[in-house]
Structure 1
Amino acid sequence: MCPVVPGGGYPRPVTTTAVRPLRADAARNRALIVDAARRLFAERGLDVTLHDVAEAAGVGVGTVYRRFPDKDALLAGLVTAKYETLVELAERAAARPSGREALREYLLGAMELRASDRSLSTAVMRAAPQTEQALALRARLSEVVGGVVERAHAEHALREGFTADDVPAVTSMIGSIADRTRGESPDAWRRYGLLIADAVCPPAGELPPLVGEPLPPPTSGTCAAPRP
């Protein structure tokens, strides 16, 4: 489950130092900046600039740079928050009575998170800067998801050969569909998310029908898009 950076190895931790409490206006600006960055990264991915963040937050770009000297510093805090959300999802799923239910809940939940957040895969699963806290959360996520996968295998509910390391890949695949269809059909990804979940860990009993409609073939030079 642990992500690697291109070329091997893991992202280097970003060290943090204690700082004095912020004044009320500085704290308010920081909250505006973080909220704007979270929204922009989720909508547009990691190509967002600090100038974009400043404009969305309604503050001067100098204010952003005083709080975050570069985009990596801003991303470090957001990555931690994303891990916290994933760990919370995994631990809630792990409390389900069976490994089958636990894995399906986590798979479909992680797909939904990725479908709504364009930056999730690139920030968490690639080379974004990560604090010691984020690295500890990543280790916890790997532990919990690995345990869920083991339970599902022990119940013979999971396709042979599927591992916890496959989870980020399948969520990223569904995210790609969500990114391409978000404007016209924001729920189109659910059909294919369910298809993958059923393929690797089918529900007990009869398979339910797929939701939604299949995407039409792409036209020349374009990506697949939902039917009008």
Structure 2
Amino acid sequence: MATTSSRRQRRDAVRNREQLLEAATRAFAERGLAVDVREIAREAGVGVGTFYRHFPTKDDLLQAVIEPDLAAWSELTERADAAEDAWQGLRTFVESTLALMVERRAILDGLGGAVQDSAAVVACQEHLRGALTGLVDRAHGQGALRSDVSAADVGLQIMALGRIVQMTAEMDPEAWRRHAGFVLDGLRAADGPGGENRSS
């Protein structure tokens, strides 16, 4: 009987954790990282005590939820890095990152630092910096990106476009694509490969 009870408890614990992760994933994707843990526990159908047994801090939950998003983002980054045309690679990264923000507000909030002192937030910001450094260097090397534009500049533009993602999500979900085009056109070197000579 003790063994049966122990197995049942383990199954219940696994189910509770899965329910918490599912509820948190939905909540963070739809409402951002500021969602209260009590709300997540309620949506998962468990008590707050159960929540803390699985995730001692909210940041532990954030890291568990955002891990698959970071993995997907890493795959997008690898594809951008593999592009022979450095400008196309940079463009792919910017547009793919914004598309991910549309689906996963946790990434959007993570880049914006919506939750302070969070390892999950730091992971988002570090990934953005690391990915952009190589992409921007390659684009400069091919003469495709304006020489006065740094990786930090592109990162700030992505975060600014993320705000547009938020503001237009309900009334025009695709508006961010047009605005991303405006920004990318402004970043491209006037005389770079495939670019127009803006001085003419």
Q: TM-score, normalised by structure 2?
A: 0.78
Question: How many Å separate the matches in 1 of 2:160 and 2:58?
Answer: 26
CA 173–27 in structure 1, closer or farther in 2 if over 3 Å, else same: same
Is 2:73 the partner of 1:86?
Answer: yes
Higher gyration radius (CA): 2
CA 115–128 in structure 1, closer or farther in 2 if over 3 Å, else same: farther
- The counterpart of 1:123, out of the listed 95, 102, 110, is 110
CA 163–78 in structure 1, closer or farther in 2 if over 3 Å, else same: farther
Question: How many Å separate the matches in 1 of 2:175 and 2:127?
Answer: 31
Q: Do 1:50 and 1:70's aligned partners in 2 also have CA atoms closer than 8 Å?
A: no
Q: Could you say which residue in structure 2 is the equivalent of 1:97?
A: 84
Quote the offset at 1:184 in angstroms. 2.1
Is 2:63 the partner of 1:72?
Answer: no
Q: Could you say which residue in structure 2 is the equivalent of 1:107?
A: 94
What 5-or-longer segments of structure 1 have no aligned partner? 1-21, 207-228
Quote the offset at 1:83 in angstroms. 2.8
Q: Do 1:38 and 1:78's aligned partners in 2 also have CA atoms closer than 8 Å?
A: yes
Quote the offset at 1:153 in angstroms. 0.6
Identity of aligned residues (%): 36
Is 2:50 the partner of 1:63?
Answer: yes
- The counterpart of 1:24, out of the listed 3, 7, 11, is 11
Q: Could you say which residue in structure 2 is the equivalent of 1:36?
A: 23
Is 2:37 the partner of 1:50?
Answer: yes
Q: Give the counterpart letter for 1:101 in structure 2.
A: Q
Quote the offset at 1:201 in angstroms. 3.0
What 5-or-longer segments of structure 2 have no aligned partner? 1-8
How many residues in Structure 1 have an aligned counterpart in Structure 2?
A: 182
More helix by percentage: 2
Q: Give the counterpart letter for 1:54 in structure 2.
A: A
Question: How many Å separate the matches in 1 of 2:54 and 2:10?
Answer: 12
Asked which structure has the greater RCO (Cα within 8 Å, sep 6+), the reply is 1
